[in-house]
Amino acid sequence: MEFHAEKPIYRQIIDFVSARIVEGEWPDGSRVPPVRELAARMSVNSHTVLRAYDALQADGIMEVRRGMGYYLTADARERSLQMLRREFIESKAPAFFAEMHRLGLSIEDLTTDSPGI
């Protein structure tokens, strides 16, 4: 997997997992790839994957079953969406439009480069 430099890898892994959940590829309650397996697949240290799983567990999106691995919780998708949407609506969007305004831009100025609005 390709990582970019601006964001810590473990956060990019969190984003990756969240995307799998939100897009329904990894359904609620299903088992997620074992730490070491995902680490190998992503050419990353298992530590780094573990850290991401840990954070997701703290958010109630994953749970560990002893000796059996990590599983998505029953409401993993719901929770993920809620958290992501909330941050988007309450924090990212206001900042986005504030900057747009400051730069003297309007929605129209963006449409060329941002099809699909």
Partner DNA sequence: GTGGTCTAGACCACG
Q: Is 53 in the site for DNA (CB under 7 A)?
A: yes
Could you tell me which stretch among 25-33, 34-42, 70-78, 79-87 binds a copy of itself (CB under 8 A)? 79-87
Q: What is the DSSP string of 30-95?
A: PBPPPHHHHHHHTT--HHHHHHHHHHHHHTTSEEEETTTEEEE-TTHHHHHHHHHHHHIIIIIHHH
Of 2, 25, 108, 113, the one binding a copy of itself (CB under 8 A) is: 113
Task: State which residue, 30 or 110, has the beta carbon closest to a copy of itself.
Answer: 110
Task: State which residue, 33 or 51, has the beta carbon closest to a copy of itself.
Answer: 51
